[in-house]
Structure 1
Amino acid sequence: MFERPTAGPEGLQYVSDFISADVERELIARIRALPLQPFQFGQFEGKRRVAWFGYQYNYLSRRLEQADPIPSWLTGVIADVEAFGGPSTEIGQVLCTEYDMGVGIGWHRDKPHFDRVFGLSLGSPCKFRFRKSDGSAWERFTLDAEPRSLYMLSGASRRVWEHSIPAVEAPRYSITFRTMIERASRAAGQ
């Protein structure tokens, strides 16, 4: 059901055409209708606009906070993402993001409160870049994320590698689905 890039970080999985063009149009319309806010990184404001569901990470307090409930219009897509992730996958947090032309996201790893990360790419393609230090230089990998594609970060791709998206050339939207560390620990019987 999925394609793994022939090279690149361990734990990275990718599937093209995860959703149909009709579903993509509907999801973009739903995201555009959200009360999107500029991304807050502590005292700084990012150029991308976002809406958090389930949980929101507060960069000033460095803690997760309760956010609005995950909207029902995401139920079907979440079921498909959870099926892609496997039997123990339970999405606990969703982030909808709008990238206007010329907007990207810098190098980072998702916060340690989250376990696996799934990203649904909408609207326009992007270069999804990865890097990790080998001590004296950076090892790099770029995934061409097509519209309607889904990636999953787990293992080293999630914990060791950083990722970023350079400025996009056309408007792009994404929906990021995250599993929670607490839920993953409970599912493993820890």
Structure 2
Amino acid sequence: MPLRDRVATWLGVSPQKLVQVLVAEYAPGTPLGWHRDVPDFEVVAGVSLGNDAVLRFRPFPPDEIAKRHAVQLTVAPRSIYKMEGAARWGWQHCVPPVKGRRWSITFRTPVAAMS
């Protein structure tokens, strides 16, 4: 089964709802700075391959209090994660420098696709 179909099944949507995919390769030492995905997309699902990585989250907008409330989770190789609702809109995320080569395959649904 194609990866897009597997991710769609996991999200509980049709594959056609996954309108954008981004494949990114991270060499050892590569970070991804603090950001929120563009507002054109609602749900963000990522598949992590290669080396494990740490996803850090902090409340948005990032004032001094928010910066002290950052949380993190480790994404293992071959894992999948989803950002929607408060995690999608009320938090920023980043990836500190990775220790080994990693690939991220990110799927996105358009705004209102999940309703």
Q: TM-score by structure 1 length?
A: 0.54
1:93 maps to which of 3, 15, 20:
20
1:137 maps to which of 65, 72, 88:
65
2:49 maps to which of 114, 119, 122:
122
Q: 1:119-146, CA deviations, whole angstroms, 9 ceiling, x for partnerless residues?
A: 1000000011100158551221101100
Q: Which structure exhibits the higher relative contact order, with contacts defined as CA atoms closer than 8 Å and separated by 6 or more residues?
A: 2
3-state SS in 1 of match to 2:57: strand
2:108 maps to which of 166, 178, 186:
178
| Bigger Cα Rg | 1
Paired residues, what number? Answer: 111
The amino acid that maps onto 1:120 is V
Q: Is 1:80 paired with 2:6?
A: yes
3-state SS in 2 of match to 1:118: strand
1:80–1:111 CA distance, 2 compared to 1 (3 A): same
Structure 1 stretches lacking a partner, 5+ long: 1-74
2:90 maps to which of 160, 172, 186:
160
* Structural RMSD (CA): 1.9
Report runs of 4+ in structure 1 exceeding 3 Å deviation.
133-136
Q: TM-score by structure 2 length?
A: 0.88
1:131–1:77 CA distance, 2 compared to 1 (3 A): same
Identity %, equivalent residues:
40
Q: Which residue in 2 is equivalent to 1:34?
A: none
Q: Distance in 2 between matches of 1:136 and 1:171?
A: 32
Q: 1:75-124, CA deviations, whole angstroms, 9 ceiling, x for partnerless residues?
A: 71111111111146710000000000110100000000011000100000
Q: Distance in 1 between matches of 2:92 and 2:24?
A: 19
Structure 2 stretches lacking a partner, 5+ long: none
